[in-house]
Amino acid sequence: MTFAAFKKLTAKNFSLRNGAIGDIDAALKAYHTPPATKDKLNTLKQAIDAFKQVKNLKHGNYTQSGREGKSGVTLLGTQVAEALKPAPLVTPSTLVSAHGNLRQVQQGPVGAFPSGTNYRVGAENTRMEGWSYAPFDPVEFSWTSAITSGFHGALSLTQTSRVTEALRRTKMALGFAHRAMVRISKVTSFSSPATTEEALYISSFGSYDARRIARVMRNFTVLKLAIDRGPRIVDMRDTDYGLRCYAACFRGTLGQTDGGTGQVSVLSALTVFLGRAFFVSGTMNYGDSTDATVGTLVHEFAHGAINAVDVPPVDASGTWLHARESDIPTDTNFGASTDNSVQASTATTVRLLGQHKPDYAIVNADSYGQFASGMLRHYGG
Ligand SMILES: [Zn+2]
């Protein structure tokens, strides 16, 4: 309740609000001064408990005290106890059911795909190493349709290994990135010269700023949990969409923070669409473009797990090269390019974005991809 409401409920004529009631007043005011933290809530609870103890001694039971005529302290105590309970689990929204929200990378010489002759025979949620396989489902994914000829059929053993291997390396990259962020979160400024991890942070997310670092830290925690849980890989190769798709995720938020403990968890598997371009040899061949593969997957996971957007690039002097859907930081589409194909998604454009627009860099999918793949390059694996 507000301080004003509490004051009204516990008013006593000709009596100063000092002693135990004054302590509750101060703790309640502090709690209502942002940020509302769990520590402040605990302080408030202690003040309420102390009030009860003092009045129990004086009146036999605190409810007999003049202040408690309208049960104000009891009511506030109930509200505080409720707020201190762990937050109930909320089912996160997974898929945004609008095709327009699907973010993807298109790569590979699409025209060069050979036509297969077999019908695909995958089963839902076939468990693989670190991921599960899901076939195209025309009802769930009604925004595209199955092709009518030229099927590629079931994933071959080589293709299955390629997915497993790419995800294994992505998992390593996210592990390195997460551990680096744990270390970066502990410093109060960057060293001079910056360490390799700090330099990579700066080139991805910009200069030192504790608030931004905390956001990036939490986001990598969610990304790491999402890959540790094992993504659900949807095989889109035999769909119109999948003919030209490399990898894609709908934007979504998988992370939940427990209100009581502050612990971060993910409550559902990340759904990732893979198309034919993921498997093509040549330009994006897994063997000779490992970093790009990992960077691209982290980019897509960032859309799907932490609701990252594609931010447009800025030039060397920090001038926007394209419009954003919103420049209001609390908007879901803050920083999102109004044209999906105009985005800061190269090492250079990500670095410039971090340098000039760091608040946008921390919501940009590719900034996460660059940081994670850079960590993998640095630590190897
Ligand atoms: Zn994207």
Looking at the fold, whether 71 and 158 belong to one and the same domain comes out as no
Q: Give the domain extent around 15.
A: 3-84
φ and ψ at residue 139, rounded to 5 degrees:
-80, -50
Flag whether 103 is in a domain: no
b/e sequence 247-261, b meaning 16+ C-beta within 10 Å? bbbbbbebbbeeeee
Flag whether 100 is in a domain: no
Flag whether 322 is in a domain: yes
Taking the centre of ligand 1 as the mean of its atom positions, its distance from the CA of residue 96, in whole angstroms, is: 15
Summary mean pLDDT of the chain: 84
Q: Among residues 46, 68, 84, which one ends one of the domains? A: 84
Q: Which residue has the higher pLDDT, 243 or 324?
A: 324
Which residue in 337, 374, 379, 339 sits closest to 357, CA to CA?
Answer: 337
Taking the centre of ligand 1 as the mean of its atom positions, its distance from the CA of residue 265, in whole angstroms, is: 23
Q: Which residue has the higher pLDDT, 85 or 117?
A: 85
Tokens of 142: 């009604």
Taking the centre of ligand 1 as the mean of its atom positions, its distance from the CA of residue 45, in whole angstroms, is: 45
Taking the centre of ligand 1 as the mean of its atom positions, its distance from the CA of residue 334, in whole angstroms, is: 14
Taking the centre of ligand 1 as the mean of its atom positions, its distance from the CA of residue 267, in whole angstroms, is: 23
Taking the centre of ligand 1 as the mean of its atom positions, its distance from the CA of residue 342, in whole angstroms, is: 10
Each residue's pLDDT tens digit, 129-162: 889 988 888 888 888 889 988 888 888 888 888 8
Taking the centre of ligand 1 as the mean of its atom positions, its distance from the CA of residue 329, in whole angstroms, is: 19
φ and ψ at residue 265, rounded to 5 degrees:
-140, 165
Amino acid letter for position 178: H
Taking the centre of ligand 1 as the mean of its atom positions, its distance from the CA of residue 365, in whole angstroms, is: 6
Each residue's pLDDT tens digit, 213-225: 999 999 999 999 9
Protein residues with C-beta less than 5 angstroms from the ion ligand 1: 103, 310, 365
Flag whether 101 is in a domain: no
Taking the centre of ligand 1 as the mean of its atom positions, its distance from the CA of residue 281, in whole angstroms, is: 22
Looking at the fold, whether 290 and 144 belong to one and the same domain comes out as yes
Looking at the fold, whether 358 and 271 belong to one and the same domain comes out as yes
| Tokens 């809530």, located at residue | 41
Tokens of 335: 């920083």
In this prediction, residue 317 has a pLDDT band, given cuts at 50, 70 and 90, of very high
Looking at the fold, whether 218 and 346 belong to one and the same domain comes out as yes
- pLDDT at residue 33, rounded to an integer: 85
Cβ neighbours of 14 (radius 10 Å): 4
Looking at the fold, whether 32 and 151 belong to one and the same domain comes out as no
Flag whether 161 is in a domain: yes
Q: Which residue has the higher pLDDT, 186 or 289?
A: 186
Put simply, whether the predicted model's pTM sits higher than 0.85 gets the answer: no
Flag whether 188 is in a domain: yes
Structural domains counted in the chain: 2
- Residue 337, classed as helix, strand or coil, is strand
Taking the centre of ligand 1 as the mean of its atom positions, its distance from the CA of residue 358, in whole angstroms, is: 18
Task: Answer whether residue 172 shows pLDDT above 90.
Answer: yes
Looking at the fold, whether 184 and 65 belong to one and the same domain comes out as no
In this prediction, residue 324 has a pLDDT band, given cuts at 50, 70 and 90, of very high
Taking the centre of ligand 1 as the mean of its atom positions, its distance from the CA of residue 185, in whole angstroms, is: 26
Task: Answer whether residue 305 shows pLDDT above 70.
Answer: yes
Task: Answer whether residue 8 shows pLDDT above 60.
Answer: yes
Looking at the fold, whether 69 and 215 belong to one and the same domain comes out as no
Percent of the chain with pLDDT over 70: 86
Taking the centre of ligand 1 as the mean of its atom positions, its distance from the CA of residue 339, in whole angstroms, is: 11
Taking the centre of ligand 1 as the mean of its atom positions, its distance from the CA of residue 228, in whole angstroms, is: 21
- Report how far residue 290's alpha carbon sits from residue 270's, in angstroms, rounded to the nearest whole number: 21
Element (H, E) at 247: strand 247-250
Each residue's pLDDT tens digit, 246-272: 888 988 999 998 888 888 999 889 999
